[in-house]
Amino acid sequence: MFEQDSEGGPRNAITDWVLRGGVAFAFVLFGADNFHSGPGTEWVTLYAQIGWGQWFRYFTGVVEIVGGLLVLIPWTARVGLALLAATMAGAALNLDFVVRRPGDRILSICFFTCLATFCWARRKG
């Protein structure tokens, strides 16, 4: 009985598509938002505080868009989820140790946890 439960059954295809579609939609939007470069926008200010230059904002936007698109393709979904989880872990670390706003890292940690869990759940299929 317990052996069957630990083996994991087939995933529900509709639930899988809905979850992957939601992740992809969110991160494509987040990534695209990094490209808005008005002088006082939140992203410009945040990346200025990080101190790596605005190229890092564009790089992060591309990584989020590519990760979101990889999540849509079933055989690359784990790579996309891992890429996005690593991005969120980096965001949490930057907010905590570089920008010194540890309270702002909570959302990044939540995203990281959900993405890592989803990636781990997909390991069997």
Length of the chain, please? 125
Q: What is the pLDDT of residue 3?
A: 35
Q: What is the pLDDT of residue 5?
A: 36
Contact 31, 63 (CB under 8 A): yes
Q: Which burial class, exposed, middle or buried, applies to 42 when counting CB atoms under 10 A from its CB (0-12, 13-18, 19+)? A: exposed
Helix (H, G, I), strand (E, B) or coil at 36: coil
> pTM of the entire structure?
0.84
Kindly list the averaged pLDDT for each block of 10 residues, start to end, along the chain of length 125.
40 88 97 86 87 92 98 95 97 92 90 95 75
